[in-house]
Amino acid sequence: MSIEHTLLERSGHRCELCGATENLSPWAVPPQELASSDNHILLCGTCLAQIDGAEPDQNHWRCLNDSMWSQVPVVQVMAFRMLKRLGSETWAQDLLEMLYLEDDTRKWAEAAAGVEDAEPTLDVNGVVLVAGDNVTLIKDLDVKGTSMTAKRGTAVRGISLSDNPKHIEGRVNGQRIVIIAAYCKKS
C-alpha cells in the first residue's frame, strides 16, 4: 500500500490539520530517516503553502485547536510547530501551553523547530530551563506596561521558551509576561 493511500485512509480523506477535502497531498515531516506513513502527513494546498514558508494566516490555523488533540504523533508534531510559529498570538500561546506531547514526540517536534540547536536558556544558577519547567522569581520585577510588580518568591508554573534564550514566558497573577531567565531559579 502506498504512503498516500495509507494517509487517505488514516485521515478519512481530509487534511489532517484543518479538515479540508480538496487538493490533498502527502508531506514528509523532517527530520526523517525512512519514508513511511508514520512521518508523513496529509495536507491541503493552503496548509502546505503556509508550512513551506508563506506568511501564516492566523485565522486559518485556529483549526489547530482540534487537530492538536490527534492521536497520531506526526499530526501532533505539525500542530506544535505551527503553534510555535504563531507564538506571538495569545490564542496560539494558550494552545501551546495545553498541548501535551510524549517525550519522543516532543523531541521530534523540537528537532526541526530549531529548539535543539539554539543556545540554551539558563536560570540564575546556570541550570538549563525547558518548556514546561516551574521557576521561582528571585527578585521583584516591575512588569512593563502595567502597574503590576511580580514579587520575589512567586512561582511561575509551566514556562514557555521564547526566541531569545535570555527570556522565558509565563503567567504571573493570571497575566502572561516575559521574564528575564537570569531572575529565576528552577523549582
Domain boundaries along the sequence of the chain: 3-111, 121-186
Please report, rounded to a whole number, the percentage of residues in the chain having pLDDT higher than 90. Answer: 53
Fold assignment, 121-186 = SH3 type barrels. (2.30.30)
Q: Is the pLDDT assigned to residue 117 strictly greater than 70?
A: no
pLDDT one-digit tens code per residue, 134-163: 999 999 999 888 888 999 999 999 998 887
At 35-46, the pLDDT tens digits run 788 889 999 999
Alpha helices for the chain (secondary structure H): 3-11, 45-51, 64-67, 73-85, 90-98, 103-111
- At residue 100's C-alpha, the angle toward residues 94 and 106, to 5°, is 110
Task: Specify the pLDDT at position 115.
Answer: 42
Is 70 exceeded by the pLDDT of residue 21?
A: yes
Mean pLDDT of the chain: 88
The pLDDT, as a whole number, for residue 72 is: 94
pLDDT at residue 2 in the model? 84
Residue 54 confidence (pLDDT) above 90:
no
pLDDT at residue 112, rounded to an integer? 64
Which residues contact residue 103 at a Cβ distance below 8 angstroms, ignoring those fewer than 6 apart? Answer: none
- Residue 141 contacts by C-beta under 8 Å, 6 or more apart in sequence? 149, 150, 179, 180, 183
Q: Which helix (H) or strand (E) holds 37?
A: none
**What gap in Å lies between CA 83 and CA 89, rounded to an integer?**
9
